[in-house]
Structure 1
Amino acid sequence: MAIAKELLDELKKRRERADAAGGKAKIEKRHEKGLLCARERLELFFEKGTFQEFGKHAQHSCHNFGMETKDMPYDGVVCGVGYVDGRPVAAFSQDFTVGGGALGRIHAKKIVDLMDYAHDMGIPVVGINDSGGARIQEGVDSLSGYGQVFFKNVFLSGVVPQVAIIAGQCAGGAAYSPALTDFLIMTRTNANMFICGPGVIKASTGESSTLEQFATADAHASVSGNIHLIAEDDKHALQLASKLLSYMPSNNLQDPPHAPTEDIDLSDDPGMNELVPESSKTPMDVKDVIDRMVDKESFFEIMPDFAKNIVVGFARIQGIVVGIIANQPTVKAGTLDIDSSDKGARFIRTCNIYNIPIVTLVDVPGFMPGLAQERGGIIRHGAKMLFAYASATVPKITLILRKAYGGAYLAMCSADMGADMVFAWPTAEIAVMGAEGAVGVLYRNEIKEAADPKAKEAELREEYRHKFASPYQAAECAMITDVIEPKQTRAVISLALRNTLSKRDTRPPKKHGNIPL
């Protein structure tokens, strides 16, 4: 029996209504600002023709304050699944042209249902946030909706990758769902994220402020550390999300998308030797080391503008996906402080969740001294690094480039903290403290009594480095797997990764450890 024409007409009418979103005028207004609409964002993100929408005909159920007469297609959020680089991904995109993208009961239900689907199928979730916040007309139902979304964010955490894109307003409670995801990407223009705006801050505390001080992508990336990446526009944000997922498995039970080269290249890289300064006091840009160690143009830095004294990011080494954590001597001498400890620990735990091997590059003189650091809780924050490394069960390869002093040596994944292999360059110095401080403590009287105190101090420093800080001393104590030339770095790390990919590390049964937050 043929389908009645009126039924097909009704279907066509409803589809056209949904595709029209908030209307031509609102869509054009967004385009004038350089913004894409909800559907356009998803069309750009997914491979052509692969998007399958969930809840296209959903409507709000509110009958308060005249809402019963309001037409709100798909209740202001487009949800569905599609393919990104050949793999299925779930995504939702809030539509600001439909009721300001405000969240109500059905809006929240669509997101929660999509997240349940992603959990059951074991696929990542990408959320494009562009909303005026809670739908006031729905009262407590909208608050309940946010609570359900937050709960589901946590339920999925550690199970499937979650990526949030802040592509418009994200105020009040709306900011917490992105904050609960694995990665936050925010567009540099047309987007803000905050709990309290300038008006509320002024009324509550008397402080005058502007959104530029705390709510923009630049502020979040460099000051608060709330976001991981800045995008120049909507298109760039979606490209970054896609690139992030290219390093991730679809879920925590899978391995990352390794593509190991058929043959391991074990050749030397003489250029690595040339990176090492003659003086140990001369800073060495660790990014130069990373670029030579990893596959060409594969390093994808995370949080590049926050706590720059530590560098974290994903890369491939001869096709193997890795997470890299490295001290940056060109910033604060590479010391670990409150912010860099938080940044490093979070990244380590992310790698561990998704079975990504960790490569640690060490050039650290210690934890940052200072009253502000002590009063700010450097002990608690520094302990996060220790906890993160010790609890990580993925392959862990450590390379000590130069300085590795005191507790910071341990916090950068020494053998005692669970590193599977630890290598060191001949330039490495491993000790309780640097030669300058140690000699001043150990040989104070001898230096004072010398005919030439400065010369004697210099002589004792060299002796200390040779006797007590040499990598060979640590190697003799079986704390180092091998001492290698810098030019051997890529080959040695590549081989170590291949040899540890089969690692299986079981821990005592427990809900989870109690990381010092």
Structure 2
Amino acid sequence: MAHFAYEGEAECLAEVRHLLSLLPSNNRENPPVVASKDPADRRCEALVDLVPVDGKQPYDMRAVIEELVDDGEFLEVHERWAGNIICALARLDGQAVGVVANQPQSLAGVLDISASEKAARFVQMCDAFNIPIVTLLDVPGFLPGVDQEHGGIIRHGAKLLYAYCNATVPRISLVLRKAYGGAYIVMDSQSIGADVTLAWPTNEIAVMGAEGAANVIFRRQIAAAEDPEAMRAEMVKEYRTELMHPYYAAERGLVDDVIDPVETREVLIGALAMLRNKHADLPARKHGNPPQ
């Protein structure tokens, strides 16, 4: 259960120095801020080609993170465990941040037991050391299956929900493409207290995908149609047009703003600056009662 693993001693010691440079001396201090040579207003033109518009097409979220953070450098935590979610430490305009991101290249980026536990641990670590959290969402839901159910996917998913809800550091979330169902809720949605919620025009925030929703909502019309497949396609199109257009979430207050992908870095840095003096106190108590 090592957080990091390296081939040689020199590489290991270099990364230890990198890790320590991102952490404060103790839990009462803020992480050190360094001068960044990477412009805060740098436009991220590469993001347009990195992320396919088609929500079913995979891509490497690491490339997205590399494009957004200072000098393309980030330190991934538990890289070899639960590859469907990425947890990493990086800097934005010199300020240390924790990045939690779904990885569409692995299991389509779904949340499962391991991914939920990995992300929950990381969120709690960031909160313990006053590191702001940036969450990048492209999540189709929780992984279905008997093994996941018997293993306690609800209980483990609740750990991530608990970790976010108890975090008092600045919390910024960005929906790149899909954000479906309960997985969207636990990935630092506005409904659980995210400070700033953003979305790209390619966002799809919904209970489920258009195809699944149409099959449930319009099942009688589809069954009664002379051409069920044509009716299903029409209902899917109608559902997407009415309930999954890019600004649907903003119109209903689910996100604060829909932004141009190329301006993502600048907007994230601006949000961090706005939240720099955030102060939040939890109710006085001995300790919380997290899901076990």
Distance (Å, rounded) in 1 between the aligned partners of 2:131 and 2:203: 26
Segment of structure 1 superposing worse, 305-314 or 229-238: 229-238
Distance (Å, rounded) in 1 between the aligned partners of 2:226 and 2:69: 51
Segment of structure 1 superposing worse, 228-237 or 383-392: 228-237
SS in structure 2 opposite 1:478?
A: coil
Which residue of structure 2 lines up, in the alignment, with residue 54 of structure 1? none
The answer as to 2:176 corresponding to 1:401 is yes
- Contact persistence 1:231–1:240 (CA under 8 A): no
Which residue of structure 2 lines up, in the alignment, with residue 425 of structure 1? 200
Segment of structure 1 superposing worse, 385-394 or 255-264: 255-264
Which structure 1 residue ranges, 5 or more long, are not aligned?
1-225
Displacement of 1:469: 2.8
Displacement of 1:486: 1.1
Distance (Å, rounded) in 2 between the aligned partners of 1:238 and 1:466: 53
Q: How many residues matched?
A: 292
Percent identity reads 49
- Contact persistence 1:425–1:484 (CA under 8 A): yes
Which residue of structure 2 lines up, in the alignment, with residue 342 of structure 1? 117
- Among 329, 333, 341, which residue is 2:104 paired with? 329
- Contact persistence 2:53–2:202 (CA under 8 A): no
Counterpart mapping for 1:168-183 below 5 A:
none
Distance (Å, rounded) in 2 between the aligned partners of 1:312 and 1:392: 16
Which residue of structure 2 lines up, in the alignment, with residue 443 of structure 1? 218
SS in structure 2 opposite 1:506?
A: coil
Deviation string, structure 1 residues 345-382 (Cα, Å, up to 9, x no partner): 00000000000000000000111100000000111100
Which residue of structure 2 lines up, in the alignment, with residue 484 of structure 1? 259
Which residue of structure 2 lines up, in the alignment, with residue 247 of structure 1? 22
Whichever residue aligns with residue 453 of structure 1, its letter is P
Which residue of structure 2 lines up, in the alignment, with residue 227 of structure 1? 2
TM-score (norm 1): 0.55
Distance 1:320 1:254, change over 3 A: same
Which structure 2 residue ranges, 5 or more long, are not aligned?
none
The answer as to 2:291 corresponding to 1:516 is yes
- Contact persistence 2:65–2:72 (CA under 8 A): no
- Among 151, 154, 158, which residue is 1:383 paired with? 158
- Among 211, 230, 243, which residue is 1:455 paired with? 230
The answer as to 2:64 corresponding to 1:289 is yes
Distance 1:500 1:389, change over 3 A: same
- Contact persistence 2:206–2:244 (CA under 8 A): yes
Distance (Å, rounded) in 1 between the aligned partners of 2:42 and 2:21: 28
Whichever residue aligns with residue 341 of structure 1, its letter is S
- Among 91, 104, 124, which residue is 1:316 paired with? 91
Distance (Å, rounded) in 2 between the aligned partners of 1:464 and 1:452: 18
Whichever residue aligns with residue 448 of structure 1, its letter is A
Alpha-carbon RMSD: 1.6
- Among 351, 363, 381, which residue is 2:126 paired with? 351
Report 1 or 2 for greater relative contact order, CA contacts < 8 Å, sequence distance ≥ 6.
2
Displacement of 1:410: 0.7
Moved beyond 6 Å, runs of 4+: none
- Contact persistence 1:430–1:470 (CA under 8 A): no
SS in structure 2 opposite 1:246?
A: helix
TM-score (norm 2): 0.95
Which residue of structure 1 lines up, in the alignment, with residue 280 of structure 2? 505
Displacement of 1:280: 1.7
Displacement of 1:310: 0.2
Displacement of 1:505: 0.7
Deviation string, structure 1 residues 239-259 (Cα, Å, up to 9, x no partner): 222221111000011100112
Distance (Å, rounded) in 2 between the aligned partners of 1:415 and 1:256: 25
Distance (Å, rounded) in 1 between the aligned partners of 2:43 and 2:7: 39
Deviation string, structure 1 residues 458-513 (Cα, Å, up to 9, x no partner): 22222212322334222112221100121111111111111111110111111221
Which residue of structure 2 lines up, in the alignment, with residue 190 of structure 1? none
Whichever residue aligns with residue 491 of structure 1, its letter is E
- Among 122, 129, 139, which residue is 1:364 paired with? 139
Whichever residue aligns with residue 323 of structure 1, its letter is G
